Structure 1
Amino acid sequence: MQRKIRANSMKAVLVTIILCLVSTSWAMAESVYKIGGIFSSTGRASFLGDPEQKTMEMMIEQINAAGGIDGHMLEAIIYDSEGDPAKAVSAVNKLLHKDNVLAIIGPSTTPTTLAIVNFVERAQVPLISCAAGVAITSPVKPWVFKTAQSDLLAVAAVYKQMQARGIKKIGIITVANAFGESGKNQLMEQASAFGIEVVLAESFGAKDTDTTAQLTKIKSASPDAIVCWGTNPGPAVVAKNAKQLKIDIPLYQSHGVASPKFIELAGDASEGIMLPTGKILVTALLPDDDAQKPILEKYEADYKAKYNSNVSGFGGYAYDAVNLLAKAIKGSDGDKEK
């Protein structure tokens, strides 16, 4: 009888321990804030997505090492879109309905971002895109944000520089996707305000390996300069073809190629090309009293130490996105609307 009582007592203790462990595990799971990420980590746009994914993972590690946010640890759940809008849609559905994330950072490109905007709006989950197209946030969408400089701002920066150089006539060549179309619209709409005339507009496919025909047409229109709007590898092809055709007028590119990858792809054809970008690529050249310099230096040092590679402006978009989201989460109790 006594053995039976002891056995029952042991069972009761074991059940209590198991329940405590389950409760603790449940509480720990509940205390984690899941943050989604969608990046072009592989494929043709990996020069965008790879540094973005690495930066997001690094920043979340740093936040957790410092105690998380309001005592909550962050968990990164990241999917690779490979730069494909259809795969971005598949990823966002997993993040929203399977992973139940608090917010999403990315995607890396304008086409993949625009493909998922309606999904996050319906689900009322905050999205901070790392892409540039002005259509991502215009008109204003309450649940959608972005960190990359808008092509509206980038085009204005290019035109301001052209205006200072006395450039009056330009030819444009843009990639045939949402990013290129958005850039083309801004190039066309803003031209007159800067006293610039677009004499010819051509386009190229994202996978095209030759743009000689388009550039030959632009050259025959006698512009003072050419603007190419796209993301690698197309703009590098344009640069090489322009050199082969001995086009000796200024060639401008978009901030979509603001990374060492463009120089790697274009080789010596990249010499003399101008483009707008943030300060991250020229951190060492900034004056010591620049307010952004210490932040850029720390990010650069942290990234190099962890990944043994150079930073890019694209990784910088994810750096900003994680920091913005961390500030937004603080004091929200995990309420998406807050």
Structure 2
Amino acid sequence: MSWRGTLRARKSGALDGRAWCTRLRLALCLLLLVLVLPAGCSFPGSVRPTVKIGLVAPFEGRYRYIGYDVIYAVRLALREVNSAGGIGGYNVELVAYDDGGDPALALQQARKLAIDPQVVAVIGHFRDETTLAGLDVYQDAGIPLIAPGVLASSLTDGRDGVFRLGPPSSAIAEALVGRIVESGHDSLAVVGAEGALGSAILADAELRGVGMIAALSLDGLEWEDGAPFLAADAIVCDAGPLVAGEVVVDLRAAGFTGWLLGGPSLLTGDFAAVAGSAADGVLLVTPWPLPSEVEGSDDFRIAYQDMGYHVSPPGPLALPAYEATWLILEALERDIAAEGEPTGQSVSGILVDAERSGLLGRIAFDGQGDWADAPLYWYELGSDGLPRLSSELSTPLRVL
């Protein structure tokens, strides 16, 4: 045989060997696929039925900090329950929509949730104006709404299926005006008097006989140096964190040296960022404490930040959103156990008598749908803009 024939024979043998190896690898892959498919695929009858919880919050615009504070908390609660097998054989999914802090968009998003037959409860919208915009839609659809972060007294007035995870504005106003009176001050001005908290402060101050120097609207708000209301002992600001920050800066620049107070919105980082050094000494009261100061919250805070890349530490609305989700999950469990298939109407009925002891303490709703006996926490901002819990005024932060 010539050298050319010898070479052809060698090549043929090598090709046959490679073909045999290829066929062997293919056979092994097919065998592995057969072994893996039963464990990894879903066959008819093996898929858990799905039930959905809706979440509506601002994820864009000036209030986007709210959306990104709450969504990881809701997702965490759902991950915990689904990893444990779901609720009564059901997998629980999240449907989240952005309302941008806009009432018109909030109404559209509420309608989307209302036509989804798998949605049995909604958490939202975390702002007074947007939450009120969607109320009638949820009621007509028979879908219960749990609303953290909403102070408007009209939220739960005569409405079924609406639950406020916090106190109404009157309770916050009573605490603020009471604190002013107890400190020996007898004159007050309100900036943002048209808001839920601002109007409640006006009513409470009138009942107590506190001198009201001025009630200012945020619309077209401006004043001149030496304006009479700058002589008030205390000024309470009811505004979103960005606007409130600007107001505080302007008040200090105009020479106001008295007490500056506010409600829950002043606990956000956006307020301190805008107000800067003018935030020094600002006193605020809120039913939603920072998770970092809640006893027993370490595991929650770690798991929360593990929900994604570069997730910021949870803010003041993270725990209310987390507890709201678990209230719904526990109601779902009871509903499925009793009826077999969950519905919004039955979940709503269960929430009326629901009770949960979690990281925010005992949560139960009164006959109005408000969180009965919600604790309040006082914070004072320092020159560094960081809020510090005023422990002598606040309910102890502990797990019940």
Task: Please give the residue correspondences for 1:52-201 in structure 2 after superposition, counting only pairs within 5 Å.
Answer: 52-98=70-116, 100-174=118-192, 180=195, 182-201=196-215
Match for residue 328 of structure 1 among 307, 325, 331: 331
SS at match of 1:133: coil
TM-fit CA distance, 1:22:
7.4
8 A contact 1:38–1:91 mirrored in 2: yes
| Structure 2 CA distance for partners of 1:216 and 1:140, relative to 1, 3 Å | farther
Structure 1 counterpart of 2:45: 24
CA distance, structure 2, for counterparts of residue 252 and residue 199 of structure 1? 16
Report which of the two structures shows the higher radius of gyration computed on alpha carbons.
Answer: 2
TM-fit CA distance, 1:212:
4.1
Q: Which has the higher helix share?
A: 1
TM-fit CA distance, 1:257:
2.4
TM-fit CA distance, 1:151:
1.6
Give the fraction of aligned pairs with identical amino acids, expressed as a percent.
22
SS at match of 1:121: helix
Q: Are 2:318 and 1:300 aligned? A: no
RMSD: 2.5
Amino acid at match of 1:64: N
| Structure 2 CA distance for partners of 1:126 and 1:216, relative to 1, 3 Å | farther
Cα deviations across residues 227-271 of structure 1 (Å, max 9, x unaligned)? 000112110111110121121000111212222221112111111
| Structure 2 CA distance for partners of 1:218 and 1:81, relative to 1, 3 Å | farther
| Structure 2 CA distance for partners of 1:280 and 1:183, relative to 1, 3 Å | closer
Cα deviations across residues 248-298 of structure 1 (Å, max 9, x unaligned)? 0001112122222211121111110011023632744xxxxxxx621x333
8 A contact 1:131–1:147 mirrored in 2: yes
SS at match of 2:271: helix
TM-score by length of 1: 0.81
| Structure 2 CA distance for partners of 1:216 and 1:118, relative to 1, 3 Å | farther
TM-score by length of 2: 0.69
| Structure 2 CA distance for partners of 1:134 and 1:204, relative to 1, 3 Å | closer
Structure 1 counterpart of 2:245: 236
CA distance, structure 2, for counterparts of residue 215 and residue 138 of structure 1? 41
TM-fit CA distance, 1:190:
1.0
Gaps of 5+ in 2: 1-41, 337-341, 347-400
Q: Are 2:223 and 1:213 aligned? A: yes
Gaps of 5+ in 1: 1-20, 285-291
Structure 1 counterpart of 2:317: 314
CA distance, structure 1, for counterparts of residue 114 and residue 189 of structure 2? 43
TM-fit CA distance, 1:313:
1.3
| Structure 2 CA distance for partners of 1:293 and 1:215, relative to 1, 3 Å | farther
Task: Please give the residue correspondences for 1:269-288 in structure 2 after superposition, counting only pairs within 5 Å.
Answer: 269-278=278-287, 280-281=289-290, 283-284=292-293
Match for residue 65 of structure 2 among 47, 50, 60: 47
CA distance, structure 2, for counterparts of residue 79 and residue 310 of structure 1? 22
SS at match of 1:248: coil
CA distance, structure 2, for counterparts of residue 215 and residue 329 of structure 1? 58
